[in-house]
Structure 1
Amino acid sequence: MAYHPAKARLMESSETRDYSQEAEILKVLGHPVRLKIAAGLCTKECNVKNIWECLGLPQATVSQHLALLKNRGIITGRREGTGVRYSVTNPMVKKIIAALE
């Protein structure tokens, strides 16, 4: 097998990089509901009611998924009156969603 300097450099940079943050994001987005929520929130802000109505899921289920996405730094909530509007603020997540589409 021939030695390829370009491949060796690629592996060296991959071996020294810590992919733990990326792996955590991919793990969280690995659930279909959370992936749908993140994809929808990449395009516009929404409140919990709009999300659960669109997905046809119970409000409690959607709230649990939103809490996990928020705790992992994938989405943020912005208070608006008595409600909260969510959006994706993590640029890496936006790139992942764009790649999937």
Structure 2
Amino acid sequence: MPELETFKTNPVLFNEKAELLKVLAHPVRLCIVRGLLTNKECNVSHIQNCLEMPQSTISQHLAKLRSAGIIEGRRSGLEVFYRVINDDAKKVVEVLFNGVAD
């Protein structure tokens, strides 16, 4: 049986996972990621309508998710469509909301 990774043997791994959890720890960002997983991809206007928050607030949260490598944007004309690209983030959100109705 292979030896388990520990903070002592692989601190980079544990720091990366902790950073992912820090970004997802905000309820708005968690909601955005869950919504993107449900809808595959959305633009800012759709996310804003769902959350009923100012576009500037949504954009700040999207920027944090993007800089953490959790989401990416695809430009289509004047709009940017976002989708989740981080497999660990997908797994975390799926586990958190397993059995919770949309």
TM-score, length of structure 1 as denominator length:
0.85
State the one-letter code of the partner of 1:42.
L
- Kindly report which structure 2 residues correspond to 1:1-101, keeping only aligned pairs within 5 A, or say none: 10=4, 13-15=5-7, 16-18=9-11, 19-43=14-38, 44-101=40-97
Shift in Å at residue 96 of structure 1? 0.3
Higher Rg: 1
Partners of 1:84 and 1:38 in 2: CA distance: 16
Count of residue pairs brought into register by the alignment? 92
Q: Which runs of 5+ in 1 are unaligned?
A: 1-5
TM-score, length of structure 2 as denominator length:
0.84
Deviates more, 1:48-57 or 1:38-47: 38-47
Per-residue deviation, residues 5-42 of structure 1 (Å, max 9, x unmatched):
x9xx55xx324232011100100111000000011111
